[in-house]
Amino acid sequence: MGDILALTVKLATVSTCMLLVLGTPLAWWLAQSRHWVKEVASAVVALPLVLPPTVLGFYLLVAMSPEGPVSRALAPLGIAPLAFTFPGLVAGSVVYSLPFVVNPIRNAFEAAGRRPMEAAATLRAAPLDAFFAVALPLAGPGLLTGAILGFAHTIGEFGVVLMIGGSIPGETKVLSIAILDYVETLQWGTAHRLSALMLGFSFCVILTMTVLEKRLLRGLR
């Protein structure tokens, strides 16, 4: 059980870090751009909100299979197919949880408006310096909310994880998959303990991060 929990936390942590790194500049572009392409990009980002996880997981599995486009693109770099591997789970988790991270950060950037960046420009601050010194601190609550939702959403993933990773002990068998395995083998006691652990763990994470978010908001005021 300890290995399963450790793998689940590892997946959520790595996925959340990647989501923040990839999602923050994407959210900034969506908040600042006035090009019509951003509407198409917004729709693509939001797809996981309406697509059944098994559908998204199926297409990700096809893309990551040995003959899939992702595997073919990575083959010249010496990277093996991602299907049924931990890196594949991370990639699937990033795609599936993307809107849960991008949307709060985008909303925070939009709420801050353009004036802070314009003021920084009048002080001759470089755009990149102004982004890190002005925009990011103002969007702090949104970043924290995105991290909360991304982490919690990854912890509770099932359909996408099952389709991409299966149930390989020590590699892709996370908590949600382990619970299904124990239920199917009629090990109700173990399934109950894991379910209760996931419930308590998720609640504690959300509660802790919510308290931190409120304190951050007070600090900004």
pLDDT tens across 37-50, in order?
989 999 999 999 99
pLDDT at residue 4, as a whole number: 85
pLDDT at residue 202, as a whole number: 77
Q: Where are the domains of the chain?
A: 2-220
HSE-CB for 195 with a 13 A CA cutoff: 11
Using alpha carbons, select from 11, 153, 9 the residue that is nearest to residue 89. 11
Residues 6+ apart with CB under 8 A from 150: 15, 16, 19, 20, 23, 97, 100, 101
Report the C-alpha gap between 57 and 168 in whole angstroms: 17
CA distance to 28, 117, 141, per residue, from 108 (Å): 9, 14, 7
Using alpha carbons, select from 37, 41, 166, 174 the residue that is nearest to residue 98. 41
Percent of the chain topping pLDDT 90: 33
pLDDT at residue 10, as a whole number: 93
Q: Which residues of the chain have pLDDT under 70?
A: 1, 213, 216-221
Report the C-alpha gap between 83 and 75 in whole angstroms: 13
The string of DSSP letters for 10-76 reads HHHHHHHHHHHHHHHHHHHHHHH--STHHHHHHHHHHHHHHS-HHHHHHHHHHHHSTTSHHHHHHGG
pLDDT at residue 216, as a whole number: 65
The CATH number of the domain covering residues in 2-220: 1.10.3720.10
Asked if residues 145 and 206 have their Cβ atoms less than 8 Å apart, the reply is no
